[in-house]
Amino acid sequence: MMATMWSPSESGLRGASARVLLVEDETELAEMLAELFTEEGYVVDVAHDGHTGLHYGLTRGYDVAVLDRGLPAVDGLDLLARLRRSGIVIPVLILSALGNPADRVAGLDAGAEDYLAKPFDVDELLARLRALRRRHLDTARLLPVGDAHLDLDSSEVVTATGRIRLSARERDLLATLAGRPRQVFGRDDLLALAFPEAENPVVVDTYVHYLRRKLGRGVIETVRGRGYRLGRPAT
Residue 116 bridge partners (DSSP): 95
Residue 140 is predicted with a pLDDT of 61
Contact 81, 36 (CB under 8 A): no
Query: Which letter does DSSP use for residue 185 in this model?
Result: B
Using DSSP, state whether 46 is helix, strand or coil: strand
Residue 217 is predicted with a pLDDT of 92
Using DSSP, state whether 145 is helix, strand or coil: strand
Question: pLDDT tens across 107-120, in order?
Answer: 998 889 999 999 98
Question: pLDDT tens across 89-105, in order?
Answer: 788 999 999 989 999 99
Choice between 118 and 180, residue whose per-residue pLDDT is larger: 118
CATH architecture of the region 19-140: 3-Layer(aba) Sandwich (3.40)
Of 30-34, 39-43, 149-153, give the lowest mean pLDDT range: 39-43
Ordered alpha helix ranges (H), the chain:
27-39, 50-59, 76-85, 101-109, 122-140, 168-179, 187-194, 202-215
The separation between the first and the last C-alpha atoms of the chain, rounded to the nearest angstrom, is 53
- Picking from 94, 106, 92, the residue whose alpha carbon sits closest to that of residue 62 is 92
Question: CA distances (Å), 63 to each of 44, 98, 184, 197, 214, in order?
Answer: 10, 25, 20, 21, 29
Choice between 14 and 220, residue whose per-residue pLDDT is larger: 220
CATH 1.10.10.10 residue ranges for the chain: 142-230
CATH 3.40.50.2300 residue ranges for the chain: 19-140
The hierarchical CATH code for the domain 142-230 is: 1.10.10.10
